[in-house]
Amino acid sequence: MRRVTLARMPDMAATSERWAIVVPVKRLAVAKTRIELDPDIRMELALAMATDTIRAAADCALVDVVVAVCDDADAVVLLRQAGAVVVPDEPDAGLNPALVHGASVGAVPAGAGIAAVAADLPALRADELGELLQLAAGARQALVADASGAGTTVFAAADPSEFRPIFGLDSRSRHLAAGAVDLTDKAGATVRRDVDTLADLADAALLGLGPATAHVVATRGLG
């Protein structure tokens, strides 16, 4: 009897989940105030970091759409050029309501998982974000802690109905208490490296800054 060998079907489970990313972008005048720079340079840097974060998310193979929630008219054009659908912060009631609003707009595909991503990840790499989203697809809710370990850079819900972000003070522990799976130890360094100070920026530079942030660092002598 002739032996028939069946070709192995590719494993599609890791790539079948689609995602929408929501990035909250503060008004530039109040963004990154812990960074001790001239206000104009600080605002330029904050916008550059948000632009690089959005560009990396938009380049991720698992991401269908990136929604930026932003009320700053000076930022809208660059955020769109980076690949985001920009919506105003209509709730105007703080970070978490802004994220929920961004996740509810018509640009988000039905059934897509939703992940909130901090806007200050200037070294973020699309492949590392994709690896994290693959892991998050198997969890009701998942989080990645920031570099300090106390905050959160990514909160993901594979089921959109479970998208209930709790960003703010000690957000890692609060997300965990609400049932999120902690994927911090499995996340790439660029997913965790948020920037709140010039020392953080120097650490991010070691990982490789995105083009917008690298331009500001070079032209403003921040290296």
The CATH number for 206's domain is 3.90.550.10
State the pLDDT at residue 156.
98
**What are 181's strand-pairing partners?**
142
Is 56 contained in some domain?
yes
State the pLDDT at residue 17.
82
Q: CA dihedral in degrees (121, 127, 130, 131; nearest 10)?
A: -110
State the pLDDT at residue 4.
31
Please report, in tens digits, the pLDDT of each residue of the chain (223 residues total).
Answer: 333 332 333 333 333 389 999 999 999 999 999 999 999 999 999 999 999 999 999 999 999 999 999 999 999 999 999 999 999 999 999 999 999 999 999 899 998 999 999 999 999 999 999 999 999 999 999 999 999 999 999 999 999 999 999 999 999 999 999 999 999 999 999 999 999 999 999 999 999 999 999 999 999 999 8
Task: Look at the chain and report how many structural domains it folds into.
Answer: 1
Half-sphere exposure of 206 (CA within 13 A, CB side): 9
Maximum distance among all Cα pairs of the chain, rounded to whole angstroms: 80
Half-sphere exposure of 19 (CA within 13 A, CB side): 34
State the pLDDT at residue 2.
34
Is 9 contained in some domain?
no
State the pLDDT at residue 192.
98
Is 23 contained in some domain?
yes
202-218 b/e (C-beta count within 10 Å ≥ 16 → b): ebbbebebbebbbebbe
Is 145 contained in some domain?
yes
DSSP state, residue 96: H
Range of the domain at 186: 19-219
Is 8 contained in some domain?
no
State the pLDDT at residue 160.
94
List Cβ neighbours of 97 (8 Å cut-off, separation of 6 or more): 91
